[in-house]
Amino acid sequence: MTEFGDVPEYLLTVEGLKTHFFSRSGVVKAVDGISYDVREGETLAIVGESGCGKSVGALSIMRLVSSPPGRIVDGRVLFDGADLLEVSESQMRTIRGNRIAMIFQEPMTSLNPVLTIGKQITESLELHLKMQGAEAQKRAVELLEMVGIPDAPSRLKQYPHQFSGGMRQRVMIAMAMSCNPRLLIADEPTTALDVTIQAQILELIKNLSAQLGTAVIIITHNLGVVARYADRVNVMYAGKIIERGTAIDIYENPQHPYTQGLLDSVPRLDEDRKRKLESIEGMPPDLMNLPAGCAFQPRCKYAIERCVEETPPLLTVGDGHTAACWVTAGSTSEVGA
């Protein structure tokens, strides 16, 4: 993390990214104009309820949104001086798995069932690092050991079904880290795992990123994860970022009613255990027919007339802390970045 006053080094800058899905019944605005940046080595969390566009936003960075029906309709993704939305497909392939790597939610189905773990790890090494034979094999063993898989040489010859869920996610992490990426995108890496294993996997990601200096975007709908592992947080709702700040800002001083609602729905370590957990009332909006004004307004107990008339932009509420709400952030602040 950069100290206050330093010029932040942006590894990734996303500007006005819009990814829509076009179907016969209409346009789903899965990601609708999000802007954020990721600094070298930091961990950024993206949180929000299921279906708010977190995965689509991440896949857009890698240009892996299935098309048709999906299309990135607008925006820029600046990585290392280039706009990833403009580079050629073959240039993009030299970035995927090499400079930006990704791990997914379902370790059970994210590995190819008919290829050995060794093959799946070494193919990245062969492709990007031009390693061959024994050298790639040796590196694959190191990688498995690095992610805490015992008995690595013989494990390399095995297939995914011979691994437990947690072990498979470790394999995914080994694969993702194999070419020493600058950025790791982890899309709900622990959602499908047992609670006890979740913590181990998150610790592993955290330690590796610290050790190797890898920046991490961790996508989750679990705010507990955020508090512990993230430096900064983007809260998403209906395809937009509605609040952004440091993990401490978001956890201790949430400004958007939606963020507050999310926090009320998870148990907190620093509070009375008997507090009743409240989930946010109502349903997430239909991305094909968004309500007028603020997308959260129909579910919001503070909503005023202006919320229906005008969509709130991200408004500055503190140093590096912005929220898109007329009520809680609108009174005192100006339009933020």
Partner 1 sequence: MRTYAIQRVLLLIPTLLVLSFIAFALIRFIPGDAALLMTEELGYAPNLEKLQERLGLTEPIHIQYFKWVGGFFRGDFGRSLWDGSPAADELVRRLPVTLELAFFSLFLSAIVAIPIGVFSAMRQDTKSDYIVRSTVVLADAVPHFWLATLILVLPAVYIGWSPPVGWHSLSEDPVKHLLLLLLPASIISVSSAASLVRITRTMMLEVLRQEYIRTAWSKGLSERSIMYRHALKNALIPVVTVFGLRVPNALNGSVVMEAVFGIPGLGRWTIDAIHFRDYPQLQVALMFTAITVLIANLIVDLAYGWLDPRVRYR
* Chain positions contacting partner 1, by CB under 8 A: 62, 64, 92-98, 101-102, 104, 106, 109-116, 123-124, 127-128, 159, 161-162, 172, 175
Number of residues that bind ligand ADP (CB under 6 A): 15
- Is residue 51 within 8 A of residue 284, CB to CB? The reply is yes
DSSP string, 59-92: HHHTT-S-TTTEEEEEEEEEETTEETTTS-HHHH
- Is residue 309 within 8 A of residue 251, CB to CB? The reply is no
Paired tokens of 146: 């690095």
Strands 215-220 and 183-187, bridge-based pairing: parallel
Nearer to ligand ADP by Cβ, of 204 and 287: the residue is 287
Q: How far is CA 134 from the centre of its chain?
A: 35
User: How far apart are CB 220 and Mg ion at their closest, in Å?
Assistant: 10
**Binder of residue 21, out of partner 1, Mg ion, ligand ADP, none (CB less than 5 to 8 A by kind):** ligand ADP
Nearer to partner 1 by Cβ, of 171 and 295: the residue is 171
Fill in the DSSP letter of residue 259.
H
- Is residue 31 within 8 A of residue 70, CB to CB? The reply is no
Among 65-73, 90-98, 170-178, 201-209, the segment contacting ligand ADP (CB under 6 A) = 65-73
Q: Alpha-carbon torsion 32, 297, 269, 266, what sign?
A: negative
Nearest partner of 43 among 174, 180, 217, judged by Cα? 217
Nearer to Mg ion by Cβ, of 55 and 120: the residue is 55
Q: Return the residues of window 155-184 that contact ligand ADP according to CB under 6 A.
A: none
Among 43-51, 167-175, 263-271, 290-298, the segment contacting ligand ADP (CB under 6 A) = 43-51
Instruction: Please list the residues that pair with 36 across neighbouring strands.
Output: 14
Q: Return the residues of window 283-302 that contact ligand ADP according to CB under 6 A.
A: 287
User: How far apart are CB 103 and Mg ion at their closest, in Å?
Assistant: 12
Half-sphere exposure of 259 (CA within 13 A, CB side): 29
Binds ligand ADP (CB under 6 A): choice among 14, 47, 52, 121: 52
Among 54-62, 176-184, 206-214, 243-251, the segment contacting ligand ADP (CB under 6 A) = 54-62
Nearer to ligand ADP by Cβ, of 122 and 190: the residue is 190
User: How far apart are CB 81 and partner 1 at their closest, in Å?
Assistant: 19
User: How far apart are CB 58 and Mg ion at their closest, in Å?
Assistant: 8
**Binder of residue 180, out of ligand ADP, partner 1, Mg ion, none (CB less than 5 to 8 A by kind):** none
Q: Burial level of 284, CB count in 10 A (0-12/13-18/19+)?
A: middle
Q: Return the residues of window 40-79 that contact Mg ion according to CB under 5 A.
A: 55
DSSP string, 92-106: HHHHBTTTEEEE-S-
Nearer to partner 1 by Cβ, of 107 and 239: the residue is 107
Q: Which residues bind ligand ADP (CB under 6 A)?
A: 21, 28, 30, 48, 50-56, 66, 69-70, 287
